[in-house]
């Protein structure tokens, strides 16, 4: 657990991170590990372990801050567009439509890989 002391205060602050992963139609998952440090969050984003990130929040005591852009910048990743999950869902819908209309299998594969 990462904790820091406030200036002039005797009590230690609790600090942790919430990483919200968006799986599109399958839902979302909040990853909350009180043992995870900022450095570990950055490392997991940079390595690709965390993908389709909706947001990253830093909680310090009772204050919540959106640090998504900061973490992406520190991980040296380009900003992920909010439309990514919608694009994935649209591809899924398109594939479903093609199946509904009984497109031949070789045509279906062409559309799914595009």
> DSSP of 28-47, one letter per residue?
EEEEE-TT--HHHHHHHHHH
Instruction: Give, as one character, the DSSP assignment of residue 25.
Output: G
Instruction: Write down the mean pLDDT value for the chain.
Output: 76
For 13, counting Cβ atoms within 10 Å of its Cβ (0-12 exposed, 13-18 middle, 19+ buried), the class is: middle
Contact 56, 17 (CB under 8 A): yes
pLDDT in tens, 36-82: 999 999 999 999 999 999 999 999 988 999 999 999 999 985 555 54
Residue 14, pLDDT score: 86
pLDDT of residue 3: 44
State the helix-helix crossing angle for 105-113 and 84-100, rounded to 10 degrees: 170
């Amino acid at each position: 657990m990462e904790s820091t002391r406030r200036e002039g205060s005797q009590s230690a602050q609790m600090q942790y991170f919430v990483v919200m992963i968006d799986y599109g139609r399958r839902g979302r998952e909040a990853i909350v590990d009180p043992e995870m440090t900022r450095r570990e969050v950055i490392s997991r984003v940079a390595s690709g372990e965390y993908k389709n990130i909706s947001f990253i929040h830093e909680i310090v005591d009772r204050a919540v801050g959106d640090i998504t852009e900061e973490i992406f910048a520190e991980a040296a990743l380009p900003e992920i567009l909010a439309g990514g999950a919608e694009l994935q869902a649209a591809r899924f819908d398109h594939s479903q439509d093609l199946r509904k209309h009984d497109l031949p299998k070789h045509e279906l594969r062409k559309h799914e890989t595009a």
